[in-house]
Every structure is written in structure tokens, then in C-alpha cells.
Structure 1
Amino acid sequence: MNYRHAFHAGNHADVLKHITVLALCDALVAKPAPVFALDTHGGRGLYALDSNSAQRTGEAEGGIGRLIAEAPKHPAIARYLAAVRACRHDHGSAAYPGSPWLLAHALREQDRIAACELQPEEAGQLRAVFERDPRVAVHTRDGYAAMKALLPPRIGETRYNRGLVLIDPPYEAQLEEFDTALGALRDALGRWPQGTYALWYPIKLRRSLQPFYRRAAALPAKSSLVVELQVRPDDSPLRMNGSGLLVLNPPWQLDQTLAGVVPLLAKVLGEEAGAAGRVEWLVRAA
């Protein structure tokens, strides 16, 4: 794989994804039972927005940079910005947290996290981030294979009935990645049907996503929610015009929380006319 998230850290897609991840974690820890989280494509876990990679694209300026400057009023946005500040307090003013860092930040002492990264160099960086955190196990392995190996989660004598699987692939295979991801989700739901699953995906041409929506709605989950943000019209196959998350078995009221967030993000992060967002059910539990 050639993809390196360091070029894209803190962009509009990260903002949407990470606000959603924190909202999911906060819902999970609202109950006392221990939680297991699996991040299938963890990257390096921590990024420097003053690095050559980040500066070359400047994407963070249109994402976390703009959101910090505007800081629209919403509890979920405030929660996310507080997590970014906490990361910068620990790691410097240009730091930006990846999803494994945010999981570790939001979850508790009794919870456990598995973070996977296939690229050895990135996995080494990820391991260094968590070398003193016994809650986090870093695996240099394919994340889809880890879903088969680690679900249903059991660590020692503890079986985890609640938790989150975050699937955030680079989509180097483009639309073929959806086939792999949906197959992995179907298998995982058979292994751990009560888990919450979140699949991130890019939006270029929306019409090309229609088969994905139909197949996602047919997965054996009790409920399926899509959360999307477009910063430009979805009419070009050559650039990422937005992104979304398919959330299976979302916690109670997640849709209401994010329905208040997405329009604010579209207003602040939108780059052209046509910026928009949506939070809609593909399948709603009875």
C-alpha cells in the first residue's frame, strides 16, 4: 500500500469520523460493563500537522484548523475539540490524534483496545504511542483478518458483550474496497452480532455509492445509520468531495446527536456551494 494518512490528518473527513467515534465511545461507557474496541486500520495513532507531509497538502487547515477557529456551539463538537486540546497538551501544539488515540482517550481503565496496522513503519509508530498503555494491543496485521481472529472478543477470562469495531481502509482499491468491507462486516455480525460497527467511506460521485447503500441495508444488523458530510458537490470522481460512516447497531440517540452536528460542519467546513450533510437510517430497529 502507498497510502499514508499523515498527508490527510485533520481534514474534513477526520473531523466527521472522529466526532462520530467519540460520540460512540461516550455512549458505550455510559454503562458500567467493560468495552472492547477494534481499530482495523489504525495508522500511526498520532500525527504532527507541522510535518512536511501535512504541510504539503494543507488539508488540516480546511478541517480541524477551520473548526477550531469557528468553534460552532454543540456538545459533540466541544467534546471533540477538548480531545484535540488534550492531545496537544500531551504531545505539542501541532499534534493531531488518530482514531486509536481517541479510543484510548475516551475509554476507561477496564476497557480494552486492539489497533491494527499493516505497514510496519506505521505500526512501529503506533506501538510507540501506546507502549505504556496496557489497555492497548497493537497488531501488525491485516485489519480484516483481525476481525475474524479477534471477534467475538475475549481477553483472559473476560468476554466482551459490548464494543466498537472501526473500519477505516484507505480505499486504494476504490469501489472494490466496499466488497471487502461489506463481506467482513457480514462475517463479523455473525460472530459478534451485538457489536457496534462503523465503516468510513469517501464520497466522490454519489451515484456510484447506490449499490453500496443497497448492500449495506441488507446486512444482518438490527439497525443501520449513514452519517455523511460533503464539503463540495458530489460530481467529480477525481477528488474526495465528502465522506461518510455506515454505523451498524448504533447506540440510542446517536442519530439525534449527529443530526445536530452535521449541518454545522457543512456550514463551517464547506468549500463550495453544494456543501451538505445527512444523517439517515438505512434500516431502523422496530
Structure 2
Amino acid sequence: MFSYRHAFHAGNHADVLKHLALIASLRHLMRKDGPLTLVDTHAGAGIYRLDSNAAQTSGEALEGIARLQALHEQNQAPALSGQAPAATEDVAEALADYLAVVASFNRAPGAWRVYPGSPLIMHALMTEPARAAVHDRLKLFELHPTDIQALDAHVAQLGAGRQVAVARQDGFEALKALLPPPAAAGGSRRALVLIDPSYEIKSDYAKAAAAVQDALRRFATGVYMVWYPVIARPEAHGLPRRLKTMAQQAGRGWLNATLHIGAAPDGGGLTASGLFVVNPPHPLKAALEQALPQVLRVLAEGRGAGRAWAVEASA
């Protein structure tokens, strides 16, 4: 346990899928004025240096977000120059938004040096000028001794006060005390929960499923997002099936998105992952269907067989 460090994987294809969907979901939820309780059960360090030894050792960001930076610059160039856009494919709205959020953490020119994790992405959206007055709450949990120290330090720099809470605690267990979320002044309750363990131990698959099942009993209308690796392990293949069954039994909508960037030249590394969402915001399916083909085209360049994307959702 604790051998996994996300610093080696920050900004890879799995982060692209997860954060693209996370931002698109939050954009929709934040159209309403009611405050949100946001929960990240496995928050990691919060933000990562792409020029660190860890990131440079794995090279995963170079095969992920670094490749997509060119799309952002292409999308920005016409606006900056005042010229009409060139005759190229428009970048999908959700993908452009995701890249703009990452770019906002990278003010210096040149290659992006920083990648925001889910905690800082959520904080950035909830404190944008048009949203800040709503006072959403962000709850972050992490057990890794090194990452929790880094997360504490990064959150302290935000000066967020009581709006963001950090705890060295098992996020699966901590979630129980947060649901149902506090009611807003008008009585409404809203929450988005991101469940994103490392799955370094097999029991994480069962714990993720159990956490969603318990969350649906406590607060059936919450948005629950579960990231998982697509690997040759029965537990990995079984998790989205279990989550789909739970959603159907609870009478809730669901969405399952997967991204496979194709085999690596050396045949190693994680090549595919998925994101299962219970109670997905209704525009999410269309947003991913527009964005994922563009993501795949860029990230699959130079790679081998297996490249594919899919978005399946309840009626």
C-alpha cells in the first residue's frame, strides 16, 4: 500500500478523460445558484509539476496533456490575432473548456509545466467570479503520507478558509458522513462525488462499488463519478457492470465513457480507462461524443492497435 504516486501519471490520457468529464459536469451543475457539496475521496497532492523527476521518468504527460496543448493554442490563435479561423476542425466545446482550465494554471509561455489535479480544478471552477458568491464546499480526503502533506500545503496557498476541508482519512469511509449534504437556504441538496482510487489493491474495486451503493441509499440524487482502469483483471471489467446494475436498481440514470489510446510501442503501460457516472448531467453524453474523437486522434498518433472511444448511457 502507498506505492502508487499520481505524480508519475498526472496529465496522462486517464486524467484527460476524467477531468474533461468532471469540468463538463460541473459547468452544467453550476448553472443553478444552489450550492454544491463537492467531494474527492482520493484527492492526491492536488497539483503536479510536469517538469518534475516523477513526470519526466514516466513520460505519461508528454503522451497526454502535452500533445493536447497544441489544440488549445490552435483554438486561441484566431482570437488573439483578430483573424478569421483557419479551415480546420473546431475544437469541441468541452475539450476547449478543459484545456482552457489547464492553461489557466500555466501563465508562462512555452510547454505547460503544471497540471491541476481534481481538487484544484474543482476549486478553480467554484471560485470563478460568476460562481464565487454561491459558496460551494469542497471536501478532500487522502491517506498517502507524502501526498496529504502536499495537498495541505497547496490548499493553504489558496486561502480558501472553511470552504475547502482536507483530511487524512479513508475517503470511502469519510463519504458516509457527508451524505446527504447540507440543505441550502431554499431546502435543496446537491452534491458531486469523485471516486478515484489507485486500485493498487484489488479490494479497491469492491470498495468503490460499495461506496456508490451506500451513497445512493443516503442521497439518491447525487452525481457520482467513478474512474477505473481498463486492464486485464476481472475486477476491473466487473466494476462498470456492477455500477450499471446498481444505478438501474435504484432507478437512476447512468453513463459509462471509455478511452483506449492504442498499444504503446513497447507494449507496456496503461492504455485505457473508463469513467462511470451515476446521475450524469444530461448534456454530458453529447459533450463527450464530440470531444473524445478529437482527443483520441491526437493521443493515439504513433501508437498501435486497440484505439477506441465509447460513450454508453441509459435512455
TM-score (norm 2): 0.83
Residues 231 and 237, structure 2, Cα contact 8 Å, conserved in 1: no
Change (3 A) 1:264 1:128: same
Report the CA distance between 1:239 and its aligned residue. Answer: 3.6
Q: CA deviation at 1:77?
A: 1.1
Further displaced range: 34-43 or 237-246:
237-246
Query: Structure 1 residues 209 and 140, CA, compared in 2 at 3 Å: closer, same or farther?
Result: closer
Counterpart of 2:259, as a letter, is: L
**Contact in 2 for aligned 1:225/1:279 (Cα 8 Å):** yes
CA distance in 1, matches of 2:240, 2:39: 23
Per the alignment, do residues 2 and 158 of structure 1 end up closer, same or farther by CA in structure 2, a change over 3 Å counting? farther
Say whether 1:120 aligns with 2:156: no
Q: Please list the CA deviations of residues 77-117 of structure 1 after superposition, one character each: whole Å capped at 9, or x if unmatched.
A: 11111111111239x95111000000001123311100111
User: 1:69-218 to 2 correspondence within 5 Å?
Assistant: 69-71=70-72, 73-89=91-107, 93-107=112-126, 108-109=131-132, 110-131=135-156, 132-134=159-161, 135-154=163-182, 161-174=189-202, 176-205=203-232, 209-218=236-245
CA contact (8 A) 2:180 2:218 kept: yes
Measure, in 1, the Cα distance between the counterparts of 2:153 and 2:237: 40
Residue of structure 2 in register with 1:55 after alignment: 56
Supply the distance in 1 between the matched residues of 2:273 and 2:221 (Cα, whole angstroms).
25
Structure 2 residue matching 1:188: 3-state secondary structure: helix
**Cα deviation code 1:147-196 (max 9, x no counterpart):** 1122112389897611210000001114x322111011000111111100
Change (3 A) 1:58 1:210: closer
1:227-254 CA deviation, whole Å, 9 max, x = no partner?
11001259xx964221110000001121
Compared CA separation, residues 12 and 152, structure 1 to 2 (3 A)? same
Q: TM-score, normalised by structure 1?
A: 0.91
Letter in 2 for 1:154: P
Between Structure 1 and Structure 2, how many residues are aligned?
A: 280
User: Percent sequence identity over matched residues?
Assistant: 41
DSSP-derived class of the 2:280 partner: coil
Q: 1:87 to 1:279 in 2, by over 3 A?
A: same
Structure in which a larger fraction of residues adopt strand: 1
Partner of 1:19: 20
For 2:114, the aligned partner's letter is A
SS at match of 1:61: coil
Work out whether 1:229 is the aligned partner of 2:259. Answer: yes
| Alignment gaps of 5+ in structure 2 | 73-89
Structure 1 gap segments, 5+ residues each: none
Displacement, 1:205? 3.0
Cα 1:139–1:67 shift into 2, 3 Å: same
Change (3 A) 1:129 1:159: farther
Larger radius of gyration: 2
